[in-house]
Amino acid sequence: MTFAASAAGPFRASPDGVRVRLKVTPKAKRNQFGGLLDEPDGGKALKVSVTAAPESGKANDAVIALLAQEWGVAKSAISVVSGATDRRKLVEIRGPSPALLARLQGWLAAQTH
């Protein structure tokens, strides 16, 4: 997996934690991260693929489980803020913003190597 490092990454601090922009591909061959994607507004989204089908919230649940496992946070701390029925999603991870944001940016930087 290759990621281009970017100061304007997919992570943004929010009052309750950190929000992450995602581009989700359901019904993929495996659950994985696929790098960063340029968004039309100039921002970045993290590409995520999950094996679950986009029906009855199964793909959203799979995305939340993958993020929780990869980033070491509780699934209950992650929620879809917008885009529940769209491939482009905004998820929020609840927790102390500065520490969480630093950890996620560190994870992204580690993916570039």
- CB-based burial, 19-42: b 16+ in 10 Å, e otherwise: bbbbbbebebeebebeebeeeeee
Amino acid present at 87: R
Residue 43 falls inside a structural domain: yes
More confident: 3 or 37: 37
Residue 3 falls inside a structural domain: no
Residue 1 falls inside a structural domain: no
Residue 37 falls inside a structural domain: yes
- Give pLDDT tens digits for 8-27: 589 999 999 999 999 999 99
State the CATH number of the domain containing residue 35: 3.30.1200.10
Q: Which residue has the tokens 């995602």?
A: 22
Number of domains forming the structure of the chain: 1
| Domain enclosing residue 44, as ranges | 13-111
pLDDT confidence tier of residue 111, bands split at 50, 70 and 90: confident
pTM of structure: 0.89
Quick one: average pLDDT of 65-87? 96
Residue 102 falls inside a structural domain: yes
Quick one: average pLDDT of 51-67? 96
Residue 4 falls inside a structural domain: no
